[in-house]
């Protein structure tokens, strides 16, 4: 019986530790992270608590893709965002919100067409963009708006 309790304890501890470590590193892996309302409020912006002022809850600039599974242009943007999440994994985080599953969240941001992309710098106001863009447009927005790089090379 004592051995059974020890095994149960070890399995529980391992499961908890594994979940904790996965949650800690999920944003550092370069994957696109799907958000629900609760996670959005915690990681992006708690619009229920801060109705009058934009307060970004994140630690890195991010992109939030408001999409739907049935949307053709959304499916075109998806692989681009996956590439960008990997390429910029140390600098930004890429999230996505399914508007069919998170109607309240989509409504809170006035999402009426998809894909709608929310670019959120670490400080300052976010920018909304509607439509499917090529990778180059996303890269320009990441460099110039999210990371505040002017695109000019420095003199040697």
Name the residues annotated as catalytic. Answer: 71, 74
Helix, coil or strand: residue 56: coil
- Distance, in Å, from the CA atom of 42 to the CA atom of 53, rounded to the nearest integer, reads 15
Question: In sequence order, which residues have a C-beta less than 8 Å from that of residue 44 and are 6 or more positions away?
Answer: 35, 56, 57, 58, 62, 64, 95, 120
- Nearest-CA neighbor of 39 among 103, 100, 102, 131? 102
Both tokens assigned to 18: 């594994």
**DSSP per position, 87-149:** HTTTT-EEEEEETTT-HHHHHHTT--SSSEEEEE-SSS--EEEES---HHHHHHHIIIIIS--
């Amino acid at each position: 019986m004592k051995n059974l309790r020890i095994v149960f304890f070890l399995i529980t501890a391992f499961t908890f530790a594994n979940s904790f470590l996965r949650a800690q590193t999920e944003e550092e892996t370069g994957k696109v992270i799907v958000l629900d309302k609760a996670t959005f409020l915690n990681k992006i912006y708690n619009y229920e608590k801060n109705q009058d002022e934009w307060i970004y809850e994140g630690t890195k600039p991010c992109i939030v893709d408001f999409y739907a599974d049935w949307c053709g242009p959304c499916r075109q943007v998806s692989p681009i965002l996956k590439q960008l999440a990997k390429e910029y994994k140390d600098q930004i985080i890429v999230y996505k919100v399914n508007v069919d599953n998170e109607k309240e969240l989509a409504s809170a941001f006035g999402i009426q067409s998809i894909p709608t992309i929310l670019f959120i710098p670490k400080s300052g106001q976010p920018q909304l963009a509607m439509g499917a863009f090529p990778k180059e447009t996303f890269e320009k927005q990441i460099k110039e708006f999210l990371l505040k790089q002017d695109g000019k090379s420095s003199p040697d």
